[in-house]
Amino acid sequence: MKAAVGVSRRDFLRSASVLSFAIMAEGAVQVFAGKAYAQDAAPKPANAWVTINADDEITIRFASTEMGQGVMTSLPMILAEEIDADWSKVSVEQIDKGAESTYGNPQTGGLLFTAGSSSVAGYFDIMRRAGAGARRILIYSAAAAWRVPAGEVTTEPSAVVHPSSGRRMTFGEVAALPRIVDKVPGIADSDLKPRSAYRLIGTNLERRDIPGKVRGDAVYSIDVRLPGMVYAAQLHPPVEGEVPLAVSGAEAKALDGVVDVIKLAHSIVVVAERWETALQARDLLKVEWSTESPFRSANSETELAATVAAVNDAQRAATAWEARGDAATAFNGGRHRRLTANFTTEYIYHGQMEPLNAVAAVDADGKGAEIWLGTQSQSVSVAAAAQALQTTPDRIRFHAMQMGGSFGRRTFFARDNLRDALMISRQVKRPVKLMWTREDDVKNGWLRPATAHKLQAALDENGRVVAFHHRVASPSILAYAAPSRWQHAKNRDVLVMEGTESTDYDIPDLLADHVILERGSRVSAWRGIGWGPNCFARECFVDELAEAANSDPVAFRHSLLAKSARGRAVLDAVVSMSNFGNAPSGRAHGLAFAGYKTTVGAGVAEISIDRESGQIRLHRFWAAVDPGMAIHPKNLEAQAEGGIIFGLSGLLKERVTIIQGQIQQSNFYDYEPLRIHEVPQIEVRIVESDANPSGAGEIGVPMTGGAVANAVYALTKRRLRDMPFTPERVKALLDA
């Protein structure tokens, strides 16, 4: 450094102007001037992935939102690996909004949208190339300062070195050079690090979000407090689609601290200086609601019966989701043995720990706003805010907050929750925090819909599956939750049907189709989307087919996975881990193979049953998961464990019932998730392959239903085909 610029490093940093630069995803460079150690140091360019300051601080930005899945760590790790950063010098920053052309996830249609285990899979190449581009700029800039060929220069953690002369600069010193070389060759695949050279990827770095959560100083949107902020409690109609006809708010307004009572299109809102006052005043409202909603007749029990009838009605039209070969001809040939089975799942609530909330401060002119929101999509939320205020997205200053869980609930909710917060803030001309209680969240939940499945298979004389038909009856999730996507989907609902394609299984003739029904409730994606119900039905049926073919669950699946080396690897791993089929006395094992997009997994459940009560007890659960490459192994294991617990809770206990359009449950005492003492011992093994990383936030869910149901059969010789597996259902099965 001294030879290059003629002054000492310390003097240079103290006295000279420095340059802070950022590398864009597309390879361009932006450079901003600032003063070393100044409070107003160089700003980050609008579309930067990484900035390096003269004090050696490296700021890496990530575009997915953090809801407990660890992207605050795993995504920056990818870029830090390629730039060769010293992780201790890295800080991370959530992208609140920005150009979708730069930050959009290609796996979610180019939007800033976090769902479907798409974060690592979608941003892996983007962040590798951004990091490699930044590293190349550092190398070329240092080489120019040293007047040596760039090919002689390399990097060590957060330093650029010229091995033959022993010269080195920290990344911060390079950033402070008077000249940054911003025209460098583009990054080819061969320029990216091979896996063998990784020193960060594949290691168990501490998650960046955990310390704040442990200390209690992590800030969620529900924690935000602003000067002059008021609180809003919302009274919703008893049934979806109803509206307030008359409101008497005199008693509510009489309470000290009540700011206003506001009538919105579909609700009444009490605004107060304190949250407790808003809740107290809400209880004093007297509202006459309309009663003509078509959802007044909704009943979950009769809806489920109608769903079963629809899936079994061969005359009902269905939309093909996957069609391989010619399943119809194979079934109608008459030469093969044919088997059929039916399965159902019921409504489930998301149960995220942080109920829905939004903080909004609308500008004085009503055409702009600052927003704090925990959301799975910055793009959707900014667009919803701009639409609500009839303004342009540039007038929306958006803060994407960490979320206290989501599991699909915070995908499209901004169109209602955020919209209402904006309307309230604009009317009272103050910042507003709109919060739902747990009861609000349950009663107005967007639920995973009930589904019915009819599965048919044809076995040849050797017991091989030659044809397979997976028919699903369910309302469309997309039609309600994302109507703009549904308009272009041609009746193909990815959130309902994904997982029915069974591409890992070698089945020559396969048809998966969807009988689309009218919804009886608000519906949305739930962790694992269609893979949860669809793999449950399929894997139960596969065990039935194995028995019909005089085979066993492992050998039969091995045959089906003949063309999937990854599938066989996880199957063999979980069989070995669990010593499958050799459960202790009074217990039994059940097996399920499952995928989630390009992640492959298999699970084994070990259960016992209290035959007096019908209660299933989970003792152990083993899972083998192939995520391609594990960016952050311990976190990946934790995500798989979380998915398993989520799946087990949904299949053993969770169920929403609806009578006359109203959800009957209200809180965790009557919508009871799996309790800590009911969680089995869980063991997850990562079985890496040469595939690109694919994520693990959802893979635990699809393997649970089939594994537990198949274990029940192994223990009782009775088949469970209806989820949830409540004690009443199990007892009825045993007594039949």
Segment 330-383, tens digit of pLDDT = 888 777 899 999 999 999 999 999 999 999 999 999 999 999 999 999 999 999
How far apart are the C-alpha atoms of 545 and 380, rounded to whole Å?
44
- Cα end-to-end distance, the chain, whole Å: 84
C-alpha span between 463 and 562 (Å, rounded): 15
DSSP 413: G
CA distance 58 to 135: 12
How many whole angstroms separate alpha carbon 16 and alpha carbon 29?
22
Peptide bond into 724 cis (omega under 30): yes
Bridge partners of 590, per DSSP, are 605
User: CB-based burial of residue 183 (10 Å sphere; 0-12 exposed, 13-18 middle, 19+ buried)?
Assistant: exposed
Distance CA 228, CA 226 (A): 6
- Return the structure tokens found at 273: 């200086």
Q: Residue 684: which of 639, 647, 646, 649 has the closest Cα?
A: 639
User: Which residue's entry shows tokens 């030659």?
Assistant: 466
**What are the tokens at 687?**
């079985």
Residue 37 confidence (pLDDT): 38
> What is the spatial distance between Cα 558 and Cα 585, in angstroms, rounded to a whole number?
27
**Exposure on the CB side of residue 672, measured as CA atoms within 13 A:** 9
Report whether 17 contacts 34 (CB < 8 A): yes
DSSP letter for each residue of 667-715: STTTS----GGGPPEEEEEE---SSPP---SSTTTHHHHHHHHHHHHHH
In angstroms, the Cα distances linking 275 to 4, 221, 270, 355 are 62, 15, 10, 14
Burial pattern 373-408, b for ≥16 Cβ within 10 A else e, equals bbbbbbbbbbbbbbebbebeeebbbbbbbbbbbbbb
At 639, list the tokens: 């995500």
Residue 197 burial (CB count, 10 A):
10
Look up residue 397 and give its amino acid. R
One-letter amino acid at 376 equals Q
8 A C-beta contact, residue 202 and residue 81: no
CB 28 within 8 A of CB 136: no
Contacts of 534 (CB under 8 A, 6+ apart): 453, 470, 472, 497, 498, 499, 500, 702
Beta strands in 76-182 (DSSP E): 90-94, 154-156, 159-162, 167-170
Whole-number Å distance between alpha carbons of 37 and 54: 8
Name beta bridge partners: 277: none
Dist CA 267 CA 244 (whole Å): 7
DSSP structural state of residue 344: E
Could you give the CA distance from residue 103 to residue 98 in angstroms, rounded to a whole number? Answer: 7
Lookup result for tokens 């976090």: 114
Q: What DSSP string runs through 125-156?
A: HHHHHHHHHHHHHHHHHHHHHHTS-GGG-EEE
DSSP 212-263: HHHHT---BGGG---TT-EEEEEE--SSTT--EEEEE-HHHHHSTTEEEEEE
> Is the CB of residue 543 less than 8 Å from the CB of residue 455?
no
Ranges of the chain whose pLDDT falls below 70: 1-47
pLDDT for 32: 62
Decide: 257 and 273 in contact? Cβ < 8 Å. yes
What are the contacts of 143-151 at 24+ separation with CB within 8 A?
143/181, 144/179, 144/181, 145/1, 145/4, 145/5, 145/169, 145/174, 145/177, 145/179, 146/3, 146/4
Q: Is the dihedral of CA 346, 351, 352, 354 positive or negative?
A: positive
Q: How many CB atoms within 10 Å of residue 297?
A: 12
Amino acid at 433: K
Enumerate residues 6+ apart whose C-beta is below 8 A from 625: 570, 599, 600, 601, 636, 640, 684, 685, 686, 687, 696, 699
CB 281 within 8 A of CB 269: no
Selection from 334, 339, 411 nearest residue 373 by Cα: 411
**How buried is residue 288: exposed, middle or buried, by Cβ count under 10 Å (0-12/13-18/19+)?**
exposed
Q: How far apart are CA 296 and CA 131, in angstroms?
A: 55
CA distances from 20 to 177, 361, 391, 578, 604 (A): 10, 32, 34, 54, 53
**Residue 108 Cα to chain centre, angstroms:** 12
Contact 187, 23 (CB under 8 A): no
- Are the C-beta atoms of 446 and 481 separated by less than 8 Å? yes
CA quadruple 10, 12, 17, 20: dihedral sign: negative
